[in-house]
Amino acid sequence: MKIICIGRNYHAHIKELGNTVPAEPVFFIKPDTALLIRNRPFYYPDFSQDIHYEVELVLKICKVGKNIQPRFASSYYNEIGLGIDFTARDIQDRSKKAGLPWFTAKGFDQSAPVSPCLPKDNFPDLKNITFSLRLNGVQVQQGNTSLMIYPFDEIISHASRFVTLRTGDLIFTGTPAGVGPVKIGDLLEGYIGETLMLKCTIK
């Protein structure tokens, strides 16, 4: 499986990092070795001094698809979960300045904690899903799908122009404002609505 992520999908987050609104979606990939499940701890890697959390809703792909039209995209995912797109912000900033790819800033081991997924049918309105992240008990991020620049169906459609989607692939749909650094000993807790979906201790 692969993990496809969209960057810059919420205006307030684009602003906080001093980026510009993209003319089309910005995608990157994390390998399957990035996946961190069952609330396992995240071990702070030695190659970065500035690991940031980014809480994101995650779609689970349920059938193979290529060149999917937006109007058919909703049938290609059947579950929604919550994930953290851990980012080595220091490496990413250096890469951006040098015009180089983001791979090592985004694709490293354990950089994608993901919760168990919920059936899509649990959500009465996919365009109004609230999600949030607490750091040591204090809310640091809150998002709502109504604020996405590219909604779920457009993300799937755009990504599938370039990459065939397969059953079990995960799509990270972008982070709202409030990203920030973690340190050893921190506890991250991710929520969809009022439901605790994900815990991650930094070790």
Residue number with CB closer to Mg ion (85 or 169): 85
Stretch that binds Mg ion, among 10-18, 40-48, 118-126, 169-177 (CB under 5 A): 169-177
For residue 5, the minimal CB distance to Mg ion (Å) is 6
Task: Write down the least CB distance from residue 174 to Mg ion, Å.
Answer: 6
The binder of Mg ion chosen from 54, 153, 169, 189 (CB under 5 A): 54
Distance of closest approach, residue 8 Cβ to Mg ion, in angstroms: 9
CA atoms within 13 A on the CB side of 10: 23
Based on the shown chain and the rule CB under 5 A, indicate whether residue 175 belongs to the binding site for Mg ion.
Answer: yes
Rounded CA-CA distance 150/171 in Å is: 13
Per CB under 5 A, which region of 25-33, 36-44, 93-101, 170-178 contacts Mg ion?
A: 170-178
Tell me how far, at minimum, the Cβ of 54 lies from Mg ion, in Å: 4
Nearer to Mg ion, 53 or 76 (CB): 53
Question: Measured between alpha carbons, how far is 92 from 169 in angstroms, rounded to an integer?
Answer: 24
Judged by CB under 5 A, how many residues of this single chain contact Mg ion? Answer: 3
In whole angstroms, give the CA distance from residue 193 to residue 190: 10
CA gap 119, 130 in Å, rounded: 16
Q: Which two tokens stand for residue 154?
A: 């457009």
**Chain residue at closest Cβ approach to Mg ion:** 85
Query: What is the distance between the terminal CA atoms of the chain, rounded to a whole angstrom?
Result: 26
- Residues with Cβ within 8 Å of residue 129, at least 6 apart in sequence: 57, 80, 123, 144, 145, 192, 193
Residue 85 in contact with Mg ion, rule: CB under 5 A: yes
CB of 55 to Mg ion, least distance (A): 9
Q: Are 152 and 6 in contact (CB under 8 A)?
A: no
Q: Which residues bind Mg ion (CB under 5 A)?
A: 54, 85, 175
